Amino acid sequence: MANTQPLPVGAEAPDFELPNQDRKTVKLSDFRGKQAVVIAFHPLVFTPVCSVQMQTYEQHRPEFDAAGAHILSISCDAGPSKKAWAESLGGISFDLLADFHPKGQVAAAYGVLRDDGIPERAIFVVDKAGTIAWAAKYDIPEQPPLADLLTAVTGVTD
């Protein structure tokens, strides 16, 4: 397994363009100057921990919205898989992005691509200026604590 080193707080967030579950292109820099962004890298769709993580974000979407933060979820799964997964979860209203081609390019830019070709479970909060304001990496089977993320988002958007 790779000894991945996520980008540190204070680093400029690398820009990217990726397709979401509806085949619409999402570009990180489009949020610059407008709102903070939560970038949630997760290993694989259709897995229990990832599914609960995304459903939790969906359930708490009003809190993210109230804090002025947009959620971008990223894995190396293909776009059609992301769409099927979103539907299987009862619908996800935020962007599920496919870092599929070239596989893992965005995860690698953020320092979270493992040797086995999947991203670590890692979360970055990017402020309106495009700087990483908060970052955390978790063990693959670990559910990231929602309270920590909401506190980080609120601190960045205040």
Give the rounded distance of the alpha carbon of 148 from its chain centre.
Answer: 15
CA angle 23, 27, 31 (to 5 degrees): 125
Give the single-character DSSP code of 92.
-
CA-based Rg of the chain, rounded to a whole angstrom?
A: 14
HSE (CB half, 13 Å, CA atoms) of 108? 10
Active site residue 76: no
Which residues are bridge partners to 143 per DSSP? none
> What is the Cα–Cα distance from 78 to 91, expressed in whole angstroms?
17
Residue environment code for 16-50, b if the CB has 16+ CB neighbours within 10 A, otherwise e: bebbbbeeeebebeebbeebbbbbbbbbbbeeebb
Q: Which of 40, 50, 72, 98 is catalytic?
A: 50
Could you list the active site residues? 50
